[in-house]
């Protein structure tokens, strides 16, 4: 850990927004001994934090939050003025959801920055953690004027391992044009480590979008390779392994499956594509990544349909996993939602389960039977479909699953089950980009 001296004033930090990024950043800064105040306008989130609970499902966060609240290093502010009193740094971590056109909706960022501009003391550094399109921070800085410097400092936290990522960053990016405030923001996070990149605000914004978009491209690319594997008889596991051993390619984010979901990749790829469009650029690779990702979900439903003999109508299909990835209850752009809706449109009878996202899913899937217990989910199913690779599903007692199903089809959307083992239990195994595995035919009765 780098040793840094933080000026007294910068020890007090006001974090605006207690969503995924804000609450994790706030808890992390408090654990470094900062005096953190969190400003949240959403009543439900506010109440959760006031009761000492995290407003989202994130491993370790409940405990971290409770510890920092108890120690008095983190507190809920009553409003912006309260949160900003004596603070040297204001961190904006509000959402930038997609608009109907696909670009980032900056309304919350603008509201937060306008409020800070009124309430903050001169010299307070405004740190933008929200993901905003290139040019946004420069425009905000122009609108506020020199009284409050603005610095772009993107986050790279993954849901499900956000606290770990916060404490083990690969890099710390600060972008702006005032060297003093860039240094102050670097000092805020420097103890956490990671290579420091000091640049202009627009480049910092593009580092964030470029990273997410590139990772999304990798995923869509391997999913296209997976399709080609299915068409030609290859195995995407071997291909990804072989490709990934080339250090110029790298194995990370080459897991074929149901593609990317969540709050970042789908939204950021579309927003970057929209930004390029506004500047007259057709960013074809991003358009392709988005289309391949949508297609991947349709291909998967098709695979289930074909494996069930050409129709899912009236068939009972058990879906394991609703959250967009394990370790979270986040359903934003979750493949499960599209897949279940496609199946239900084709008159399948869907029953689904998830260790964390069940309650959030209820209003989104009114026609779906949602059950808490995975064994109850698979009972009587014609097909079991794995959509989210939770450990709970990998380690199911698959012999019992095989016994309690009505049919014998398992379709693994995340390539995370042992197909040979399932086939030995009498199950037909289908996955993504790998050859199908069927149970061995029963030995012929010995001749008398």
Q: Using the minimum distance from each CB to ligand UDX, give the nearer residue, 212 or 408.
A: 212
Catalytic residues: 264
Residues paired with 173 in a beta bridge: 197
Q: Which residues bind ligand UDX (CB under 6 A)?
A: 155-159, 212, 219, 253-255, 257, 259-262, 264-265, 324-325
Q: Using the minimum distance from each CB to ligand UDX, give the nearer residue, 115 or 262.
A: 262
Min dist CB 390 to ligand UDX, Å, is: 12
Answer yes or no: are the C-beta atoms of 317 and 385 closer than 8 Å: yes
Min dist CB 334 to ligand UDX, Å, is: 8
Residues paired with 74 in a beta bridge: 36
Residues paired with 35 in a beta bridge: 12
Min dist CB 203 to ligand UDX, Å, is: 17
Q: Using the minimum distance from each CB to ligand UDX, give the nearer residue, 84 or 128.
A: 128
Rounded to whole angstroms, how far apart are CA atoms 243 and 370? 39
Per-residue 3-state assignment (H helix, E strand, C coil) for the chain: CCCCCCCHHHHEEEEECCCHHHHHHHHHHHHCCCEEEEECCCHHHHHHHHCCCCCCCCCCHHHHHHHHHHHCCEEECCCHHHHHCCCCEEEECCCCCECCCCCECCHHHHHHHHHHHHHCCCCCEEEECCCCCCCHHHHHHHHHCCCCCEEECCCCCCCCCHHHHHHCCCEEEEECCCHHHHHHHHHHHHHHCCEEEEECHHHHHHHHHHHHHHHHHHHHHHHHHHHHHHHHCCCHHHHHHHHHCCCCCCCCCCCCCCCCCCCCHHHHHHHHHHHHHHCCCCCHHHHHHHHHHHHHHHHHHHHHHHHCCCCCCCCEEEEECCCCCCCCCCCCCCHHHHHHHHHHHCCCEEEEECCCCHHHHHHHCCCCEECCCHHHHHCCCCEEEECCCCHHHHCCCHHHHHHHCCCCEEEECCCCCCHHHHHHCCCEEECCCCCCECCCCCCCCCCC
Min dist CB 432 to ligand UDX, Å, is: 10
């Amino acid at each position: 850990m780098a040793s840094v001296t933080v000026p007294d004033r910068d020890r007090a930090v006001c974090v605006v927004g207690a969503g995924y990024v804000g609450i994790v950043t706030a808890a992390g800064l408090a654990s470094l001994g900062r005096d953190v105040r969190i400003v949240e306008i959403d009543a439900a989130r506010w109440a959760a934090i006031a009761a000492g609970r995290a407003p989202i499902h994130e491993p370790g966060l409940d405990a971290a939050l409770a510890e920092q609240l108890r120690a008095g290093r983190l507190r809920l502010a009553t409003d912006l003025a309260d949160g900003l009193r004596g603070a040297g740094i204001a961190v904006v971590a509000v959402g930038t959801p997609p608009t109907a056109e696909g670009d980032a909706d900056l309304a919350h960022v603008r509201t937060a920055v306008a409020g800070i501009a009124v309430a903050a003391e001169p010299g307070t550094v405004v740190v933008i953690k929200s993901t905003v399109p290139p040019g946004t921070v420069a425009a905000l800085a122009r609108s506020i004027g020199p009284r409050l410097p603005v610095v772009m400092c993107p986050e790279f936290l993954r849901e499900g391992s956000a606290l770990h990522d916060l404490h083990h960053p690969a890099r710390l990016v600060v972008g702006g044009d005032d060297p003093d405030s860039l240094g102050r923001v670097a000092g805020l996070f420097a103890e956490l480590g990671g290579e420091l990149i000091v640049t202009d605000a627009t480049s910092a914004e593009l580092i964030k979008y470029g990273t997410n978009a590139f990772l999304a491209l990798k995923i869509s690319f391997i999913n296209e390779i997976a399709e080609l594997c299915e068409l030609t008889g290859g195995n995407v596991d071997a291909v990804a392994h072989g490709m990934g051993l080339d250090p110029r390619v790298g194995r990370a984010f080459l897991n074929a499956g149901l593609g990317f979901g969540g709050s970042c990749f789908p939204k950021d790829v579309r927003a970057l594509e929209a930004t390029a469009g506004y500047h007259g650029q057709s960013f074809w690779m991003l358009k392709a990544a988005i289309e391949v990702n949508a297609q991947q979900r349709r291909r998967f439903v098709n695979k289930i349909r074909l494996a069930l003999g050409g129709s899912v109508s009236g068939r009972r299909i058990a879906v394991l996993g609703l959250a967009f990835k394990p370790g979270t209850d986040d359903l934003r752009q979750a493949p499960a939602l599209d897949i279940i809706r496609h199946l239900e449109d084709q008159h399948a009878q869907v029953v689904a389960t998830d260790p964390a996202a069940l309650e959030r899913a209820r209003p989104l899937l009114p026609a779906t039977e949602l059950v808490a217990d995975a064994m109850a989910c698979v009972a009587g199913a014609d097909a079991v479909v794995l959509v989210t690779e939770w450990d709970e599903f990998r380690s199911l007692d698959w012999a019992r699953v095989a016994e309690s199903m009505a049919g014998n089809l398992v379709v693994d959307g995340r390539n995370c089950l042992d197909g040979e083992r399932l086939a030995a239990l009498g199950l037909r195994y289908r996955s993504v980009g790998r050859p199908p595995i069927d149970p061995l035919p029963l030995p012929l009765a010995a001749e008398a």
